[in-house]
Amino acid sequence: MSAWPEDWKGAYSNSRGGAGQRDASGKTWLGRAYSRQIHTKLSPIRHNDPVSVHPSVIRAREKASRYFAQALAVLALASVASAQESAWPSRTIQIVVPYTPGTGADILARILGPKLAERWKIAVVTDNRAGASGNIGTDFVAKSGPDGYTLLCTATSFGTNPAINHNLPFDPIKSFAPVILLATSTMAVIVTQALPAKSMREFLELARGQPGKLYYSSPGNGGPQHLAMELLKLDARIDLVHVPYKGSGGALADLVGGHVQAMIVSLQTAAPYVQSGKLRMLAVMSAERSQAFSEVPTLKELGLADLEVETWYGVFAPAGTPQAVVARINAEMNALLGQSGIRELLAKQGMAPAGGTPERFGGLVKKELARWPRVVAAAGIKAD
């Protein structure tokens, strides 16, 4: 048997396949690619021999390095975000109320704010930004940073405004993260003390006898109070003239002064005026009588069963607020709403504490947004 190289003598084949061919003598001809592979495997590389790397290998290494650097950057950002969330809250929290002081959302913010401040050891301030049926303050929060330091404490108008105004500067779903449904309350029909009607039945008879002669105020065109009164007009077949104001303060002041004769307003907003004798409550729009005003009948008792209207109050954060922050705010507010002292305080204001998950609140808002366009169309209400 000949030595190993002698068995492989012969010219190399230039064939593309490089798999090898036999010549007339029966010896094997190897392709160049195959011969190089054998040489690479069997021949040692000397220390001083130059080593070359294929360009594709270099590109692969560069791509891997870039991916590794990007992964490190993502991990670093995630670590920073996690640290920021765990440190929340570390500075003042602003609860924006898009209505005037004394309204239901304002009352809730001022009851819960100080309690949250005690728990979190930071300042919690209530910021009233009223106007445009709540749209001014709502838009402010929509454009605020999604960091949990700016919250919106709002009410039913959040769900009615989109039915009136199709050009809002924010999206009621996409611009906000639901946090919690705080409370619900009924609405009440109230009138000035100067009006001769002492009951709801007498008021309806008076309105029917003077079509277009009585005026009612509301905190703004297209708000829940406006819509509720328009429903009452349609169902009770009465004709009242709408006088919109920029907030509940002016609407109530002119009602007390006798410049307008009637108004539909949330129970807790009307309560101090009724209790002081400045205004008269004729009926509530809930399914049952209010514990705070048990002598006042429901519209259902008066034969107007389709006019149940509840006011709701809830908290939103700007869209994009970390879920961990939203969850913590939700848990803290649920804990406060469960305290007997706060429940009693809200009951005196005509509110029923609600609570629950962000998903519960988000579901309610979606139902409200779907409900009111039909009401607006039936009443022919137009935006200002």
**Tokens representing 149?**
């330091």
Q: What is the pLDDT of residue 46?
A: 53
User: Do 369 and 173 form a contact (C-beta atoms < 8 A)?
Assistant: yes
Instruction: Classify residue 240 by burial, with Cβ atoms within 10 Å: 0-12, 13-18, 19+.
Output: buried
The pLDDT confidence band at residue 79, using thresholds 50, 70 and 90, is very low
Give the mean pLDDT of the chain.
83
Q: In this model, does residue 193 exceed pLDDT 90?
A: yes
pLDDT of residue 83: 47
Top pLDDT among 74 and 194 is at 194
Residue 81, pLDDT > 50, answer no
Residue 10 has pLDDT above 50, yes or no: no
Alpha helices in the chain (DSSP H): 32-42, 55-87, 104-120, 135-142, 157-164, 200-209, 224-236, 248-256, 267-275, 323-337, 340-348, 358-379
Percent of the chain at pLDDT above 70?
Answer: 77
* Cα separation of the two ends of the chain: 107
On whether the pTM is more than 0.85, the answer is no
pLDDT average, residue stretch 25-48: 46
pLDDT digits (tens, 9 = 90+) for 97-118: 999 998 889 999 999 999 999 9
Q: What is the mean pLDDT of residues 268-288?
A: 92
Partnered with residue 243 across adjacent β-strands are 217
pLDDT tens digits, 216-237: 999 888 888 999 998 899 889 9
